[in-house]
């Protein structure tokens, strides 16, 4: 005897998904995100959207998390040395912050970083540790220091460099100094 087939769901197919909400939110940008804007972009009512996301802060967190998770995080295996990798990582992070105005607080404030973002961060730090023969704690310190300062400077300089594809020379010098200094400190500590 075969099992009965489930009956198809009644009504229209589900149109509100986490992915579609994130797509609409990313298209609008975190700095301009509203329930009205996301609902209009998705072609649904605000009330329908509220059934999936209960507050503007939850909506912003969802969009920031999804932008971070979609970020093409550089692979440390592609670089011969740690300094080269950290420079490439900082440029990629710089571009992420410039492409997603308003994301910086979700990358900088520990109370706004989601569990999924933290897992991805830990996985990345573990790959850096393995690739460059560092302890996990050392890799975490290096990546955190570079990421934190890069996000803060990128966010603060958005008005100076609207396209954000390249780090301005003065800011680039500062990031290079941070990277070289952090690596030198790690060399003394190990």
pLDDT at 143: 96
Nearest of 15, 9, 11 to residue 44 by alpha carbon: 15
In the three-class reduction of DSSP (H, G, I as helix; E, B as strand; rest coil), residue 61 is classed as helix
pLDDT at 76: 96
Question: What is the distance between the alpha carbons of residues 82 and 93, in angstroms, rounded to a whole number?
Answer: 16
DSSP E strands in 90-160: the ranges are none
CATH number for region 18-67: 1.10.10
Q: Tell me if 18-67 shares its fold with 73-189.
A: no
Dihedral sign of CA atoms 95, 98, 103, 107 in order: positive
The mean pLDDT value for 61-84 works out to 96
Per-residue pLDDT for 148 more than 60? yes
Per-residue pLDDT for 11 more than 60? no
pLDDT at 140: 96
pLDDT at 1: 54
Q: How far is CA 49 from the centre of its chain?
A: 23
Domain boundaries, the chain: 18-67, 73-189
The mean pLDDT value for 98-126 works out to 94
Fold of the 73-189 domain? Tetracycline Repressor; domain 2 (1.10.357)
pLDDT digits (tens, 9 = 90+) for 117-139: 999 999 999 999 999 999 999 99
* Sequence-ordered list of residues with C-beta below 8 angstroms from that of 186, at least 6 positions apart, any chain: 134, 138, 141, 142
Nearest of 64, 79, 85 to residue 22 by alpha carbon: 64
The residue assigned the tokens 């093409």 is 72
Long-range contacts of the stretch 109-113 (C-beta < 8 A, 24+): 112/61, 112/64
pTM: 0.85
Per the structure block, which two tokens stand in for 47? 């009330």
Length of the chain: 190
């Amino acid at each position: 005897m075969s099992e009965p087939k489930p009956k198809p769901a009644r009504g229209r197919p589900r149109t509100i998904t986490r992915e579609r909400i994130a797509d609409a939110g990313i298209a609008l940008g975190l700095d301009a995100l509203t329930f009205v804007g996301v609902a209009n972009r998705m072609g649904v009512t605000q009330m329908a959207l509220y059934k999936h996301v209960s507050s503007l802060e939850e909506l912003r967190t969802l969009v920031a998390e999804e932008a971070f998770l979609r970020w093409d995080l550089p692979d440390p295996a592609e670089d011969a040395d740690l300094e080269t990798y950290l420079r490439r990582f900082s440029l990629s992070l710089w571009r992420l912050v410039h492409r997603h105005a308003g994301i910086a607080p979700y990358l900088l404030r520990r109370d706004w970083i989601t569990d999924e973002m933290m897992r991805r961060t830990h996985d990345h730090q573990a790959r850096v540790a393995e690739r460059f023969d560092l302890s996990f704690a050392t890799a975490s310190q290096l990546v955190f220091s570079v990421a934190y300062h890069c996000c803060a400077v990128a966010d603060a300089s958005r008005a100076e460099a609207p396209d954000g594809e390249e780090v301005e020379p003065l800011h680039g010098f500062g990031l290079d100094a941070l990277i070289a200094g952090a690596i030198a400190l790690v060399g003394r500590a190990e």
